[in-house]
Structure 1
Amino acid sequence: MRMRIVFAIVIAFWIMLLTRIYYLAVNSNAYYEEIAEQNVIKTQYIPPVRGLIFDANDKPLAVNRLGFSVAIAPHLTKKAEILDGEIANLVSYFSDLNATKIKKEYIKNDSPYNQDYINVVEFIDYDKFIPHFAKLSLRENISINPSSKRHYPHNDLASHIIGYVGKANQQDVQNDQIAKLTNHIGRSGVERFYNSVLQGVEGVKRTKVNALNEELEQLSYTPPSSKNIKLTIDLELQEFITKVFGNDAGSVIVMDLKDGAIVAAGSFPEYNLNPFVTGITQDEWDKLIKDVDHPFTNKLVNGLYPPGSVVKMGMALAFLDNGMSKNDGYTCTGTYELGGRKFRCWNSYGHGFVNLNSAIRESCDDYFYKSSQKIGIDAIVPILERFGFGVKTGVDLPNEFLGTVPSREWKMRKYGKSWFQGETLITSIGQGNFLVTPMQVARHTAMLATGLNITPHFLKSIDGVDVDFTPKDDIFSKFEKSQLPYIRHAMYEVANHPKGTARRYFTDTNVSVAAKTGTAQVVGISQTEKKRMREEDMLYLQRSHAWLTTYAPFEDPQFVITMIIEHGGHGGSAAGPKVSQIYNKLLEMGYIVKKSKK
């Protein structure tokens, strides 16, 4: 009996052994072949050099400075004398390197399983490195590789449009294979919006290596590639608008009405892009974010302001869409009473009888109070949203804000409270909770000037291939298009009629301009005051923002210029002279072409 048990155990053992041999030799053959191949064939991913950014005339806006990176051989952590010697040698050549940081970076990445050299210096400028190249290249523990660093030759010019490249964080590396290779990624502006285009595609090098990771044979090589982009902005014009804007805070947009191409734009103040490539200090960051003029905010798409009177054209279209006539009018006495509360017109003496044309021309608040009360907020909001407010413009900049068009539903959702009639009045003149971005106002003005659904944009071409932004004819109804001439005529009189709120500021402009001024209050002023305090008598941060949105030439609309000057007071006086200079520059540079008279 015992012998049988022994035989059974022996037979069971041999069956298990033969089964295992079969599994290893036959069944797992493919798996171990793959493992063996991985041990023999090394695949190396090569980071691409980031694509360049040019202006419309091929002038560089973002380039790559050439240089070298330095790596140290692995497995030297336990050989402190050799490691410290290599680091000391590097620092002797380049005194701005920090030996402590280099050693810390090396130890963090050293591993028994890693056979690759460990990168310890990302970039040293070509001219600085080349005198020491020969000596360093002879050191067996040092590996020198070509490297590049993003550079912005114009420092702060158009900083919010171009954006910057910064170091990739852990999440970036996890989500983006290229960021893992380059250790950098687009952080703002078109650098971020078109990051996938600019960063390119990695190269792949497959080589046969031995057990010591020594290369025996190159099997295949696919070089890395990237694409350059050209923007619509004109560097010369960009420099001009920056000079014209001066030390004021705010933004300006100059848009071509053919297809929405933005030939110049700025969010002011601007900031130097270059320090962000390698990382700025905490002191530099604190200075930026604590500045009362918010230089780090892209005011083109992230600046939220009450639109003030620049919304009155859209309001007028809503009135016409809901049964009012261009000839309907009221007598403005300077105040309008509702529910025992008086709502003030900016002209405390009143405008007398006003209709749609004169109300826009002279920016009469009373006309919009009474018309909005007649139509109601529910009929107004959908029109404003369709014509560009409370929605994204589609501009190619990251994190564009929506703004706010107040409504019954919006208030109930946000505050859980009912809508009051007085809020309709305040909304009708672009105040209260109404918030827009400068880009929305520019697009809205472009729609009025052309009758088309225009998408503002900065991209012109990718690797020499133009990108199509042809406007769509799908925004205005047939009736609304028939009403646009009345709106346009009123805007023309704003800049050309003796009573126009901007007339005096365009007398020296060499093209005919259609315009609308706006004053957006920053602080509430009691409506019980018959005559409000003058802007110049208020503290700077309490002064109203000054809006001016325009298009020209009136007879043949070619460009929109929208400008807001923070705490500038009155739109006409603060922005008018600046906008006039820009139109004259557009004419001088050949952007605006006057039609010859027959």
Structure 2
Amino acid sequence: MKIKFILFIFASIWLALLVRVFFLSVESNSYYERLSYNNTIKIEQIAPVRGEIVDINNRPIAINELGFKIQLAPHLGLERNSEIFEDEINRLIALLPNLDKEKMIKEYKKVDSYYNHNFIDIVDFVSYEHIMPIYSILSLRENLNIVSSPKRFYPYGEIGAHIIGYVGRANKDDIVDDELVKLIGYSGKSGIEKYYNEYLQGLAGNREIKVNAHNQEVEELSSQKPSEDTKLTLNIDIELQKYISSFFVNKAGAVIVMDVNGAILSASSFPEYDLNTFVTGISNEVWDKLSNSLDKPFTNKLIHGLYPPGSVIKTGLGLLYITSPEAGPNFNVHCTASMPLGSRVFRCWKKDGHGSTDIKKAIRESCDDYFYKGSLRLGIEKMSDGLMRYGLGKKTGVDLPNEFIGTVPSREWKRKKYNKPWYIGETVNTSIGQGDFLTTPMQIAQFTALMATGKLPKPYFAKMIGDEVVEPDLQDVLTENELKRLPTIQRAMYEVCNVPGGTARSYVNTKVKIAGKTGTAQVVGILQDIKERELEHEMEYYTRSHAWFSTYGPYDNPQYVVLAMVEHGGHGGAATGNIISGVYNKLLELGYIKEDEEAQEDKE
């Protein structure tokens, strides 16, 4: 019995050994083959070159400047190699004196370890002109590696800064969201560069190479080029951008030039800043100056600037009035310059009043009293619902990142935000674009296009993404009755700019007939006991009203919307009339506006 047990144990041990030998020699073969392959074959990714951004006339506005990055072999930071490390750093400094020695050492030691066998980046960019005279010297040093590394460059500096955006060093969040960013090291941080980042950066290529035990390349087995044909063409005319910038020396605000179908020919937020300072890192001095400015140059006022719209919303509100059963097309008020409501008195801007006022006169002369009394008939809910249907209080959908939605006040909005009841005085305030009413310039440009054509366009900057043409996106948001009454509003907007008494009549000097609406949006309240309002130019600068003027033209054949908003500019027409006039005349000069034959005959 003992012998059988011993034989059983002996047989079991041999059987286990045979199974293990079979597993090691046969079953594990593929595993060890794969392990051996990974030790001898290396897949090296090739970073794509970022696509260029060009304007409507194919002028480059974001390109890649040719240059190189310098890499140092790993493990030189170890104590036994410290002399080699110091020698390589000093030789670089001798050849390129402008390099930062402390920064190079810091960047190297941050990445160097026993487990890292790849060359380490110590200099991100050296221009082609500086590297070529010493390229042969550097390439002979086995511890150095010189790699092509283009840098983003913006030929027009600060022109169009907020729409173009800039590329900066990738952070941890960028890398988590996109693995390719880890390879490239940079990503779009704002504007078009950020919105179209995935497209612009292209796709990585790769090289399959055989390496020896020292991780040195022995042979290239295969390669695939990166996908880099990622050109982005915008509707923007950079020369028009430059022209508009000349109006905003020591001023803050925004200007938008958009065709009535939504294609944006120019859009600027002021003050601007030089995009190139952000590519390699901005100095603390420049950062402090920009970030502490009361004019907020870092804010993209086109989509992030929230302002009371003032009287520019009277066109849409007027359309709601004349198409509602509560007011109707014949709604008329007698403006006496003030309207008592409870303990408050709501004043019209014209101290003597406007007298008998219909919808055309109310828009032409911007009669506040007309809109006060109309709001009491219509009510805040119908006002709010209508204005939101017209595109306010929601994103326009423009191809820029993180667009703000603004605020169209309502009972529900106030209850959700403040958990407080709505008061009738707030309805009256809303009717003239004040109170809690907030919009962006982009929303007002879209809103004006609706008033011009009866269709709500989605604003867009991209003309072509590669070979794909971006098509307009137009929405039908007006009712049949609103479309029927829209010509009344359009005629009133024409009279604003062209008829005596119009709020912009004295400030418009264009070679083409335009229509529009001015707005003066208060930034500080006026106390009830003040009878005579202080003149805008007599007020402290940052307490002056924001000046709006939103237009379309030609009046007989709407082609473009031109909007100007000057922060603390005072009266809408006075502060913006020269800008609006200059832009329309420039559009004619550049050939963008084509007047139809009927409009030409009217002019003659």
TM-score of Structure 1 vs Structure 2, range by shorter chain: over 0.9
Structure 2 matches for 1:51-450, cutoff 5 A?
A: 51-78=51-78, 79-226=81-228, 227-257=230-260, 259-323=261-325, 324-450=327-453
Deviation readout 1:486-539 (Å, 9 max, x if unpaired): 110110111111111110112x31111101010111011123423322111210
8 Å Cα contact 2:69/2:121 also seen in 1 = yes
Q: 1:18 to 1:337 in 2, by over 3 A?
A: farther
Q: Alpha carbons of 1:80 and 1:9: their partners in 2 closer, same or farther (altered >3 Å)? A: farther
Equivalent position SS for 2:517: strand
State the match for 2:528 in structure 1.
527
The alpha carbon displacement at 1:340 in A equals: 2.6
Tell me the secondary structure at the aligned position of residue 278 of structure 1. coil
- What is the rounded CA distance, in whole Å, between the counterparts of 1:13 and 1:336 in structure 2? 106
Does the 8 Å contact 1:51/1:228 carry over to 2? yes
- In the aligned structure 2, how far is the partner of 1:63 from the partner of 1:379? 49
Asked whether the equivalents of residues 548 and 572 of structure 1 are also in contact (C-alpha less than 8 Å), the reply is: yes
Give 1:41 deviation, angstroms: 1.8
- Distance of 2:146 and 2:333 partners within structure 1: 79
- The aligned residue for residue 37 of structure 1 is 37
Equivalence for 1:574: 575
SS in 2 for 1:503: coil
- Report if the CA contact (8 A) 2:43-2:208 is conserved: yes
**1:476 Cα deviation from its structure 2 partner:** 1.6
Asked if structure 2 preserves the Cα contact closer than 8 Å seen for 1:173 and 1:179, the reply is yes
AA of the residue aligned to 2:433: G
Whether 1:463 aligns to 2:466 is yes
Provide, for residues 405-456 of structure 1, a one-character-per-residue CA deviation record: whole Å limited to 9, x for no partner. 1111110111110101110000111000000000000000001101112111
Distance 1:473 1:419 in 2: 32
Q: 1:519-598 to 2 correspondence within 5 Å?
A: 519-597=520-598
Which amino acid letter does the alignment assign opposite residue 475 of structure 1?
A: V
Q: 1:386 to 1:28 in 2, by over 3 A?
A: farther
TM-superposed CA distance for 1:15, in Å, is: 4.1
| Deviation, structure 1 residue 12 | 4.6
Assess if the C-alpha contact under 8 Å between 2:254 and 2:269 holds in 1: yes
Q: Partner amino acid for 1:530?
A: K
Q: Which moved more, 1:139-148 or 1:295-304?
A: 139-148
Greater mean alpha carbon deviation, residues 533-542 or residues 10-19: 10-19
* Mapped partners of 1:503, 1:385: distance in 2: 30
Alpha carbons of 1:41 and 1:366: their partners in 2 closer, same or farther (altered >3 Å)?
same
Root-mean-square deviation (Å): 1.6
Offset of 1:83 from its aligned partner? 0.8
Call closer, same or farther: CA 1:34–1:353 in 2, change over 3 Å: same
Asked if the contact 1:311–1:430 (Cα under 8 Å) also holds between the matched residues in 2, the reply is yes
Distance 1:287 1:571 in 2: 29
Q: Deviation of residue 100 (structure 1)? A: 2.2
Deviation at 1:107, TM superposition (A): 2.1
Deviations along 1:173-231, one digit per CA (max 9) or x if unpaired, are: 22212211111000011000110111111111112223332333322211112201111
Whole-Å separation in 1 of the counterparts to 2:167 and 2:5: 75
2:26 — aligned with what? 26
Residue identity in the other structure for 1:151: F
Q: Deviations over 1:537-593 (max 9, x none)?
A: 210000000000001110001111111100001001000121111111111111111
1-side partners of 2:23 and 2:419: how far apart?
69
Please give the TM-score of this superposition, normalised by the length of structure 1.
Answer: 0.96
Residue in 1 that maps onto 2:479: 477
Aligned residue for 1:237, secondary structure, equals helix
Distance 2:180 2:195 in 1: 16
Query: Mean Cα displacement is larger for which, 556-565 or 259-268?
Result: 259-268
Report the AA paired with residue 277 of structure 2. Answer: P
Paired amino acid for 1:515 = G
Bigger drift between 441-450 and 275-284 goes to 275-284
Residue 497 (structure 1) aligns with: 499
**C-alpha separation between the residues in 1 aligned to 2:322 and 2:22?**
86
CA contact (8 A) 1:68 1:125 kept: yes
Query: Given residue 55 of structure 2, which amino acid in structure 1 is its aligned partner?
Result: D
What SS is found at the alignment partner of 1:504?
A: coil
Change (3 A) 1:449 1:5: same
The alpha-carbon deviation at position 34 of structure 1 amounts to 2.2
Partners of 1:481 and 1:29 lie apart in 2 by 77
Rounded Cα–Cα distance in structure 1 between residues aligned with 2:301 and 2:255: 9
CA distance in 2, matches of 1:121, 1:411: 54
The answer (yes or no) to whether the contact 2:248–2:271 under 8 Å persists in 1 is: no
Please say if residues 323 and 329 of structure 2, whose CA atoms lie closer than 8 Å, have aligned partners that are also in contact. no
Verify the 8 A CA contact 1:50 1:64 in the aligned structure 2: yes
Q: Percent identity?
A: 51
Q: Aligned partners of 2:214 and 2:6: how far apart in 1?
A: 48
Question: Take 2:340 and 2:6, find their aligned partners in 1: how far apart are those partners?
Answer: 110
Name the SS of the counterpart of 2:458 in structure 1.
Answer: coil
Partner of 1:301, secondary structure, is coil
Gaps of 5+ in 1: none
Q: Which moves more between the two structures, 15-24 or 428-437?
A: 15-24
Structure 2: which amino acid aligns with 1:480?
E
C-alpha distance in structure 2 between counterparts of 1:66 and 1:229, whole Å? 19
Q: Give distance in 1, aligned partners of 2:594 and 2:538.
A: 42
Q: In structure 2, what residue type is equivalent to 1:17?
A: L
Counterparts in 2 of 1:18 and 1:318: CA distance versus 1, 3 Å: farther
Q: Which has the larger displacement, 13-22 or 214-223?
A: 13-22
Instruction: Please give the alpha-carbon distance, in whole angstroms, between the structure 2 residues aligned to 1:26 and 1:83.
Output: 47
**CA–CA distance in structure 2, aligned partners of residues 321 and 95 of structure 1:** 74
SS in structure 2 of the partner of residue 546 of structure 1: strand
Secondary structure of the equivalent of 2:286?
A: helix
Q: Do 1:234 and 1:263's aligned partners in 2 also have CA atoms closer than 8 Å?
A: yes
Partner secondary structure for residue 208 of structure 2: strand
**Which secondary structure does the structure 2 equivalent of 1:33 belong to?**
helix
CA shift at 1:16, angstroms?
Answer: 3.9
Distance, in Å, in 2 between the alignment partners of 1:316 and 1:14 is 98
CA distance in 1, matches of 2:25, 2:439: 71
Q: What's the TM-score once normalised by structure 2's chain length?
A: 0.95
Q: Deviations over 1:463-484 (max 9, x none)?
A: 3442212x42522222211111
Measure the CA separation in 1 of the matches of 2:114 and 2:458.
55
Amino acid at match of 2:379: G
